[in-house]
Amino acid sequence: MSTIAKALNLLDLFTPARPAIGLSDVQRLAGRDKATVHRHLVALSDAGFLEQDPATRAYRLGHALTRLAAMRAQTVPAGDMVSSLVEDISRQAGELVHLSQLRGFDLVSISHAEVHDHPVRVTFDAAGLPPLFNTSSGKVILAYSAQPFVSAAMAEHQVRSGAPLQNDAVLRDIEAVRAQGYAATRDALEQGVSSVAIPVFDAQGGVMGACSVAYPTARGHDPKEIAALLIARGPDLTARLGGIVPTAVADIWNERHAVPERRQP
């Protein structure tokens, strides 16, 4: 392992729960010699990747990260930031995966991945804007949106489609979605097509978009398994777009879909 890797791995010790770490703690957590760790910390600090809290002398993430991340956000297309993850999910699920962002009352596509090894599959139409209702992506976005936005979206939908919505049913529906951390539909927008979606969050912890798996209902997937697949990648998806998963959602994702721990005998 190169010196560079050793130093950069130190940055991974910093988590939301442990945002500042002293020299001795870093040494323990990294399992390396204190002198080495110290030199690495100094080098990282000199480059602006870490800084020392003037009061406690503890190290925390530095301002260079902010600058470089802003540059990346500016220059790298959003699709490229998540395409590898979207492709991973698609490969695991063996179905169409689609990540879209909320823009006004519409969903615009950021990235998608198709599969080629099934004769029957759902195909992706990049031109069409999927609606906010009757899709798993839309439901999951509404579920994590503020109430006024939901009302406005319902009004807008009625104006556009002419068809009235069962307001109560919709509200109960998204309430259930919020409680389970993902949304699933079966033959909703199109006969014979099912889908499962999880939310993606922005830097303020607000819902920004959704990542969905769509598959022919006839394939007989268990929506829970598809959801587990998505949820396993959920934190990473949000992180790569510069967002933060709200702790409430993170808790639901962990407790409901984690690999069960072995109980004490």
Residues in contact with DNA by CB under 7 A are 1-4, 6, 22-25, 32-36, 38-42, 52, 57-58
Distances 211 to 38, 56, 165, 176 between C-alpha atoms, Å? 41, 41, 24, 18
Q: What is the rounded CA–CA span in Å between residue 45 and residue 50?
A: 4
**Residue 20, helix vs strand vs coil:** strand
Rounded least distance, CB 18 to DNA, Å: 13
Q: Which residue, 27 or 194, has its beta carbon nearer to DNA?
A: 27
Return the residue of 13, 34, 46, 155 that touches its own copies, per CB under 8 A: 46
Please state whether beta strands 106-113 and 20-21 pair in parallel, antiparallel, or not at all (unpaired). Answer: unpaired
The single residue among 5, 120, 126, 259 that binds its own copies, judged by CB under 8 A, is 5
Q: Which is nearer to its own copies, 3 or 24 (CB)?
A: 3
Binding partner of 24, given its own copies, DNA, none, CB within 5-8 angstroms per partner class: DNA
- What is the DSSP secondary-structure string of 103-161? ETTEEEEEEEE---S-SS-----SSSPPPSSSSHHHHHHHHTS-HHHHHHHHHHHHHHH
Taking CB within 5 to 8 Å according to partner kind, which of its own copies, DNA, none is near residue 41?
Answer: DNA
Q: Order of strands across the sheet with 106-113?
A: 106-113, 96-103, 207-216, 193-201, 183-186
Considering only residues 21, 30, 37, 81, which one is a binding residue for its own copies as defined by CB under 8 A? 81
Name the residue nearer to its own copies (CB basis): 121 or 240.
240
Q: How far apart are CA 148 and CA 255, in angstroms?
A: 29
**Shorter beta-carbon distance to its own copies: residue 65 or 155:** 65
Is residue 73 a contact residue for its own copies (CB under 8 A)? yes
Q: Which of residues 158-217 bind its own copies (CB under 8 A)?
A: 203
Which option in DNA, its own copies, none does residue 38 bind, with CB closer than 5 to 8 A by kind? DNA
Alpha-carbon distance of 24 to 54, in angstroms, equals 17
Q: Which does 118 bind (CB under 5 to 8 A by kind): its own copies, DNA, none?
A: none
Question: On the CB side of 198, how many CA atoms lie within 13 Å of its CA?
Answer: 29
Per CB under 8 A, residues contacting its own copies are: 2-5, 7-9, 11, 14-16, 19-20, 39-40, 43-44, 46-47, 49, 60-76, 81, 203, 239-244
